[in-house]
Amino acid sequence: MTLIKSISGIRGTIGGKVGDNLTPIDAVKFASAYGTFIKETTGKKAPKVVVGRDARLSGSMIQELVMNSLVGLGIHVVDLGLSTTPTVEIAVPLEDADGGVILTASHNPKQWNALKLLNNKGEFLNGEEGKKILQIAEADAYSFAEVDDLGTIEKNDTYIDKHIEAVLDLELVEPEKIKAAGFKVVVDAVNSTGGICLPPLLEKLGVEVVELYCEPTGHFPHNPEPLKEHLGDLAAKVVEEKADLGITVDPDVDRLAFMSEDGEMFGEEYTLVACADYVLGKTPGNTVSNLSSSRALRDVTEKHGGTYTAANVGEVNVVTTMKATNTVIGGEGNGGIIYPASHYGRDALVGVGLFLTHLAEKNIKVSELKASFPQYFMSKNKITLTPELDVDNILAQMASKYANEDVTTTDGVKVDFAENWFHLRKSNTEPIIRIYTEAKSQQEADDLALKTIKEIEGIAGI
Following DSSP, what letter does each residue of 150-199 receive, concatenated? Answer: ---EEE---HHHHHHHHHHTSTT--HHHHHHHT-EEEEE-TTTGGGGTHH
Instruction: Tell me the C-alpha distance between 237 and 401, whole Å.
Output: 47
Mapped onto helix, strand or coil, the DSSP state of residue 90 is helix
Following DSSP, what letter does each residue of 379-403 receive, concatenated? Answer: EEEEEE--TT--HHHHHHHHHHHTT
106 is catalytic: yes
Catalytic residue among 58, 69, 83, 106: 106
Residues 6+ apart with CB under 8 A from 304: 277, 280, 281, 284
Q: Is 171 exposed, middle or buried (0-12, 13-18, 19+ CB in 10 A)?
A: exposed
Closest listed residue to residue 192, CA positions, set 176, 215, 173, 175: 215
The sheet with strand 432-439 has its strands ordered as 377-384, 432-439, 421-426, 413-416, 406-408
Closest listed residue to residue 81, CA positions, set 13, 158, 173: 158
* Contact predicate 330/301, CB 8 Å: no
Instruction: Tell me the C-alpha distance between 390 and 118, whole Å.
Output: 32
227 phi/psi in degrees, rounded to 5: -115, 155
- Cα(first)–Cα(last) distance of the chain, in Å? 23
Instruction: Tell me the C-alpha distance between 212 and 440, whole Å.
Output: 33
Residues 6+ apart with CB under 8 A from 128: none
* Contact predicate 257/389, CB 8 Å: no
DSSP 144: P
Active centre residues (catalytic): 106
